[in-house]
Amino acid sequence: MFREAKVVVIGGGTGLSVLLRGLKKFPLDISAIVTVADDGGSTGKLRDIFEIPAPGDIRNVMVSLSKVEPLIESLMQYRFSQGILEGHAMGNLLLTALTDITGNIVDGVQALSKVLNVEGNIIPLTDESVTLMAEFEDGTIIEGESKIDKENKKIKRVFYKKAPKPIKEAIEVIEEADVVILGIGSLYTSIMPNLLLPEIQDALIRTKAKKVYVCNAMEEPGETKGYTASEHLKAINSHIGKNIIDAIILNDENIPEDIQKRYEATGVKEVIIDQEEIEKLEVAMFKHRIVEINSKGEVRHNSIRLASAIYSILLDWEYCC
């Protein structure tokens, strides 16, 4: 008998949107828990003025899961180029308005999700305005998500200036999930902000769901320079205080030498798959050809390839069909 697997995806930034854009094409019951820690650009300005959770990552997730005409998608992503609205994305303004109308961002997201015919359930991590902090290996501490990667120092940990309360539904969907997926995206500023709250940590430890981490194919300047695949896992585990990851999805696509050299010129390289260290963590490995080179010569995950890889794993685990 066919059933849709309950899949919870946790993250933020463009990486989460890429993954969801592919997953929505498969028969899955999708919930996305989205970070609201961004404090840069349009989303940061609106957060500060209206004292609301940052809407930018939520907007991107909405667009990736929506089933609307391309023109509506373009409208959501449209940025004003002049005047007092310069830099603001239309979708951010709509989310801000609906948050004010409904009284909170959760109801605002649900309202706009209906308008955009969103496939899946979008859950902001919290309905509070939050400030992400980072402590570096040299002991220095910085305030603000948008500033963390600009320090270009090795990060020891990230934490909230004042820990918020998570949305209750975020806890519930984790507890009821078949699979929880972390990633893709910036490790410390897109994924970690969702994992810092004790209630989320407890839910991840309690749930019977398999926890899967989608590892970035390339190191990220200012966040994971020099990190191997196992070091990504260890960073997640250290923030939670327990080894929780059951499986890791890794890129098995050969990256052209000229592209690798271009990245090395910026000080980063392909993430090394240190298999023995991963095995020591008792984490299952799945290698798939999941990246492509875009027109700018950048290594990016292909949404359909990645979603296909995840769906094939779900079939192997007998979570669907």
Residue 210: both structure tokens together: 């398999």
- For residues 222 and 158, what is the distance between their CA atoms, to the nearest angstrom? 13
| Domain spans in the chain, listed from the N-terminal domain onward | 5-35+125-316, 40-120
For residue 264, the tally of other CB atoms under 10 A from its CB is 11
pLDDT score at 2: 58
Integer CA distances (angstroms), 245 to 28, 74, 92, 179, 291, in order: 21, 36, 33, 11, 22
Class of the CATH domain delimited by 5-35+125-316: alpha beta
Block mean pLDDT (10 aa), the chain, length 321: 85 94 96 95 90 94 92 93 93 96 96 94 97 96 94 95 97 98 95 97 97 97 96 96 96 94 93 97 97 95 97 89 60
| Model confidence pTM above 0.75 | yes
DSSP 8-state assignment for residue 255? P
